C-alpha cells in the first residue's frame, strides 16, 4: 500500500446518456438524454479511481460548468499531489471555484476510489465503516404519461421494490390527486413519498399540500422554491406528515440554517448538492443532531454516482429513509458500468470490493462522449 505515490493522470468525459422516457419535475423536464461528466484519476503506480458529476442545469448546475470546474480549476490542484493528501486536495478544490458541487463530488469519489484500490479497502471503510449491507430502493414516478408509469409500477412490484416517490406539481393539482388515488387503489403495497421539486406557487401551497397530506405519504418533499424558508416552516406546522427539504439544503451550512429555522422534519442528502461524500455525511449528522431525518436522494445519475452514494449511505447510519438510485436500472437506456449496479429484491446491494467496487466500461465512455480530454 503506497498512498505516498503521486497522481499523474486526470481524464474527463462529458457524456450524453439516452433515457427511456421523459421525466417531469416541478422545476423542469428531462427527456432524450441526461448529461454527466466522468473523472478518472491515475496514480503513478497505475491504479485508477473514478468519479461522476451528475448536474442538472435547473437544480445544481450544468455539465459544461462541471467539466470546466474540473478541467480548468481543479486539475492543477490534483495532478502532482500525493494520494495520501485527500483532505488537503478537497479543501483546496472547495475554495478554487464557487459552487460546482457536482464537480467536487466527482473529485472526492475518484480520490476515495483510488485510495481504496491502492489500500484494498472499499470506500465505505474509508468513510467510517459499514452500518448496513443493503439500502431500500425508492423509484420515482415522474412520467407525464401516467399509463407508462402504471406499467413501471407493475414492473417495480415484480421486482419487489417497496418504495415509490410521486413527482407532483408539474401539471395540475387534479392530476396529482388522481394519481395518488390510483396508486392507493391499485398499488396499496407501495409506501408512497411525494416530491414537488419546488413546483407550487406560494398562493397554492397551503391548500394543495394539506390535500396531499390526507393520503398520508411517508413525507412531502420541497413544495415551494428553495429560498422560501418561512413558507416551508409554515407548511411544516400545518400538516402531520413529515416535510422534507431538498433544494433548500445543499451542504452542511444550509442544514444548520434549516434546523435553526425549523423548515423541515428531514432532509434529502445528495453528494451532488453537498459537494462530496464526507460533506453529505455532515449534512446527515447535523440533521440527526437536531432530531431530523435523512434520506438518500440523487440527481439524474449513472451507476458510477450511485456507487458513491451507496458507499456514503452504507457508512452513515443517520441516513435511514432509503435511497433513490433507480436511474441505472429503470431510466437510462444503458448504464456505463462494466457490470450492472446491483439491486436485488428492492434493495441496493452495498459492494465490498476495493474502492467503489465496480468500474465504468471505457468503451461506453468513448461511445457516449460528446467531449473528452483523454489522449489516446
Please state the closest distance from residue 246 (CB atom) to Mg ion, in A. Answer: 4
Smaller CB separation from Mg ion, 246 or 265: 246
Contact letters (x/-) for Mg ion, 148-187, by CB under 5 A?
----------------------------------------
Output the CA–CA distances (angstroms, integers) from residue 356 to 32, 43, 164, 369, in the order listed: 28, 16, 26, 22
195 touches Mg ion by CB under 5 A: yes
Query: CA 17, CA 249: separation in Å to the nearest integer?
Result: 27
Residue 16: strand, helix, or coil: strand
Q: How far apart are CA 257 and CA 252, in angstroms?
A: 9
**The residue to which cell 438524454 is assigned:** 33
State the DSSP string of 185-208: HH-TTSEEEEE-TT-S-HHHHHHH
Assigned C-alpha cell, 209: 399540500
Using CB atoms, what's the residue nearest to Mg ion?
246
Question: Would you count residue 246 as binding Mg ion (CB under 5 A)?
Answer: yes
CB under 5 A: which stretch of 59-67, 202-210, 241-249, 286-294 binds Mg ion? 241-249
CB-based contact 326:136 (threshold 8 Å)? no
324 binds Mg ion (CB under 5 A): no
Are residues 315 and 131 in contact, defined by beta-carbon separation less than 8 angstroms?
A: yes
Point out which span in 101-109, 168-176, 195-203, 345-353 binds Mg ion (CB under 5 A): 195-203
The Cα–Cα gap between 139 and 166 comes to: 9
180 contacts 212 by C-beta, under 8 angstroms: yes
Q: How far is the CB of 262 from Mg ion (least distance, A)?
A: 19
For residue 29, what are the contacts with CB-CB under 8 A and spacing of at least 6?
A: 22, 23, 144, 170
335 lies in the site for Mg ion, by CB under 5 A:
no
Q: Which is nearer to Mg ion, 195 or 218 (CB)?
A: 195
CB of 75 to Mg ion, least distance (A): 31
# binding residues, Mg ion (CB under 5 A): 3
Shortest distance (Å) from residue 355 CB to Mg ion = 28
Site string for Mg ion, 206-235 (x = CB under 5 A): ---------------x--------------
User: What does the binding site for Mg ion look like in residue numbers (CB under 5 A)?
Assistant: 195, 221, 246
Amino acid at each position: 500500500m503506497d498512498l505516498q505515490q503521486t497522481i499523474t493522470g486526470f481524464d474527463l468525459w462529458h457524456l450524453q446518456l439516452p433515457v427511456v422516457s421523459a421525466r417531469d419535475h416541478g422545476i423542469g423536464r428531462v427527456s432524450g438524454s441526461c448529461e454527466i461528466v466522468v473523472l478518472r484519476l491515475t496514480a503513478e503506480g497505475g491504479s485508477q479511481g473514478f468519479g461522476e458529476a451528475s448536474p442538472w442545469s435547473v437544480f445544481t448546475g450544468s455539465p459544461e460548468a462541471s467539466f470546466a470546474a474540473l478541467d480548468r480549476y481543479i486539475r492543477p490542484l490534483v495532478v502532482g499531489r500525493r494520494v495520501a493528501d485527500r483532505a488537503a486536495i478537497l479543501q483546496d478544490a472547495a475554495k478554487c471555484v464557487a459552487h460546482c458541487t457536482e464537480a467536487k463530488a466527482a473529485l472526492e469519489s475518484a480520490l476515495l476510489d483510488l485510495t481504496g484500490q491502492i489500500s484494498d479497502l472499499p470506500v465505505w471503510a474509508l468513510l467510517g465503516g459499514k452500518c448496513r449491507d443493503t439500502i431500500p430502493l425508492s423509484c420515482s414516478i415522474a412520467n407525464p404519461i401516467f399509463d407508462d408509469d402504471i406499467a413501471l409500477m407493475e414492473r417495480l412490484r415484480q421486482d419487489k421494490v417497496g418504495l415509490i416517490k410521486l413527482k407532483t406539481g408539474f401539471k395540475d393539482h387534479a392530476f396529482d390527486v388522481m394519481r395518488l388515488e390510483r396508486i392507493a387503489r391499485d398499488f396499496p403495497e407501495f409506501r408512497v413519498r411525494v416530491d414537488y421539486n419546488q413546483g407550487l406557487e406560494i398562493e397554492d401551497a397551503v391548500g394543495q399540500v394539506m390535500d396531499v397530506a390526507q393520503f398520508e405519504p411517508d413525507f412531502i418533499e420541497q413544495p415551494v422554491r428553495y429560498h422560501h424558508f418561512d413558507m416551508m416552516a409554515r407548511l411544516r406546522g400545518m400538516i402531520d406528515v413529515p416535510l422534507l427539504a431538498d433544494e433548500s439544503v445543499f451542504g452542511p451550512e444550509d442544514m444548520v440554517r434549516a434546523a435553526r429555522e425549523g423548515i423541515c422534519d428531514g432532509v434529502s442528502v445528495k453528494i451532488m448538492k453537498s459537494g462530496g461524500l464526507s460533506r453529505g455525511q455532515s449534512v446527515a449528522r447535523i440533521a440527526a443532531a437536531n432530531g431530523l431525518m435523512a434520506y438518500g436522494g440523487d440527481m439524474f445519475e449513472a451507476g458510477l454516482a450511485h456507487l458513491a452514494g451507496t458507499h456514503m449511505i452504507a457508512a452513515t447510519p443517520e441516513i435511514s429513509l432509503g435511497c433513490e438510485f433507480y436511474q441505472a436500472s429503470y431510466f437510462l437506456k444503458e448504464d456505463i458500468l462494466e457490470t450492472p449496479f446491483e439491486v436485488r429484491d428492492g434493495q441496493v446491494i452495498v459492494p465490498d470490493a476495493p474502492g467503489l467496487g465496480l468500474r465504468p466500461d471505457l468503451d461506453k465512455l468513448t461511445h457516449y462522449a460528446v467531449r473528452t480530454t483523454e489522449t489516446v
